Each structure stands twice: as structure tokens, then as C-alpha cells.
Structure 1
Amino acid sequence: MCLFLCSDACFLTLDPNTANTKLILSEENRKVTHVGKNQSYPDHPDRFDGVYQVLCRESVCGRCYWEIECSGRVEISVSYKSISRKGRGVECLFGSNDQSWTLSRTFFGYSFTHNKMVTIFPVMPIISRGTGLYVDDNNIYRIGVYVDVSAGTLSFYSVSDTMSLIHTVQTTFTQVYPGSSVKL
């Protein structure tokens, strides 16, 4: 999965100090992949130790749009830096607490979760590369994320040659960080 900021061609970078040890960062910390064995990352208090998650190094302030190219079981999140990092409880899981918001691909479309409240959207991803079969985890699809901190808007889009809105939520933000959860 690749995270990049489209508006000014500046890439968001994943923070290796937050990456779970079963995640590999590559492509100058713009891509994350889940692997079956632990990586030899040094101990760090910011590391997610019980869930397969990572945050970006850069926070989102003002208005910001970025796109994520995905394959497999990926959750795209926006989180406060203060989210808990130790253990497997709801206080750590993106979307399962009041510290984070997440969009997940499901077999039936997408789900949006915040504070353990789940909303299902029967919107199928637009496959940009692959076999064309949705259930094939080798397919590549793209998600756009728009955050307007002052307006309290978070929007997710399915992106190909066109953009289709998946979901928008109105809330109150302070400084938030893009993040991702990747599973085998």
C-alpha cells in the first residue's frame, strides 16, 4: 500500500518508530506490507506492539488530500498521535475508539468505523490493476482521503479515472495523522 500526497506531489512517509514488527516499510517509507515474521526494529515507545498498524510521520493540518494504493486487507485511518500503542485492546485499534477513524475494505464493499460504531457501504472498489475479480487480493485499488481540520470533514473516495464518494463524516478534529492497518 502506498500513501502519497497528490496536491503538491509531496509524499507522506510512514513512521518506522510506530510500525508493528510484522510490517515492512519500503519505497522510502511510503509502502507498508504485512509479513509473517517479526522484523528487527528497535524498541520504541511509539511502536504498535499488539496490532498490525503504522502511522505517518507527518500530521494533517488545514485541508489535505492524499491517495492510497491498496491490495489485500487494508484499513485506511486518521488518528490522533495519542492513540494507545501497547496491547491489542480497543484503545489501540484504529476505529475502535474516540482517537481514530478508519475505512476498511470488506467482501461486500467498505465499512467505516469510529468509536466502535460500524457503518457498512455496499460500494465495490474500482480495480485499477489486477484480474478484475474483487475477491482476488492481488487486485490494486485506490482510495482518496480528504481532511479539512477546521471544517471537521473527513471524506473517503474510490478513485480511478473518476472519483466516487464512499463516505463523509463531520466531526471535530485537532492534529491528526494518516495511518494504516495491513493484515495477511
Structure 2
Amino acid sequence: MAEASISVCQDQFSCSIYLDLLKDPVAIPCGHSYCMDCIKGCWDQDDHTGVYSCPQCRQIFTPRPVLGRNTMLAEVVEKLKKTVAPPAHCYAGPGDMACDFCTERKCKAIKCCLVCLASYCENHIQPHCEFPAFKQHKLIKASRQLEEMICSHHDKVMEVYCRTDQQCICYLCTMDEHRGHDTVSATAERTEKQKQLGETRR
């Protein structure tokens, strides 16, 4: 008998939390499917309440459902991975910043998060744009200079400018080696320097 050909869309096999193809797919009691790690992470945050819900339909489950890998769905997703690929221009090439969350071939990063200290492609940046938990996170255009913006001592973004030592530092540095120094926000210092430059040019 000839094999049946089924037309499928990648979105049908995407996790609504991870926004990419399912990894270790599990189906929860309401029928919706998620990556094992995604739904576990989601429910771990609700452990203190003892009430667990589906992120899509909001159906509530008590006690916490036991999760088992959906092997048939996992096989379908594996086959789909081999047939569906992003357009070639989406992949990171030499000189491009790669997405930290792409697992197979790395896509080009379009944004960096100064809170997560990670780079994201168009697909993986979506949670930062849609979920309230990420509202306070600061996104900037993907840049190879991200490493230069991070304090090597404290792994924090250097958002403070020390006028005493004429260098950018992080807020933890103001409590250590730069305690008592003349400090301002890096943004304020940049604005001041641009103003001075404008006056000099005039």
C-alpha cells in the first residue's frame, strides 16, 4: 500500500512556551503538547500553590500531572526537523551573532537581553515580547560588543560611569573598588559627552 502524504505546518508541532519545534514532547491531560522542560519549568513556579494549569487553555489540574514522553509525537517532530528548515539568510554566518538558544544549526541573533545576557533569533525572542515576566528586561540590537558591556568581575552590565577613574563599571563595582568615587549612569555620561562634542564642533 502506498504511503499516505500528509501536509503539515511547523507551527502545529511547536511548543507555545518555547516557540520552536517540540523537544521531548509531552501531552498534558487537556490534550495540549509542550516540551518536557518547558512545562516542568512552568509548573515548578506554581509548586507553592499546588494548582497547575495549561498555559494555553488554562484548564486546572490538581494534583500535578505525571508527565510521560510522547514517543509517537517525538518521531513526527524528528522527521519534520529534517524536512523543514529556515531560509538560508536566517542562519548565522561569519561575523554574525548566533542565537544562544538554537539547538541545531544556529540562526542569526537579532536582539540581546541585558538581563539574561543572551542573544536571541527572531523565534526565540518572542517570549521576551509577549510574556509580562520579561517586561522589565532590556533588549538591545544584537551586537558582538555584548561581551565588552559586561563587567569581568561581577558578570553584570556596565551601566555606571566612574568619572574618577574615567571608565564604565557595573553597579556592584560602586560598592567595591569604586566606593566613594564620582559616578553617574553611563547614559547620562554619554549624553553629556555628546553635548560637549557638539559645542566643540561649533
Q: Shorter-chain TM-score category? A: under 0.3
Give the TM-score of the pair, scaled to structure 2: 0.22
Higher helix share: 2
Give the TM-score of the pair, scaled to structure 1: 0.23
Higher relative contact order (CA 8 A, sep 6+): 1
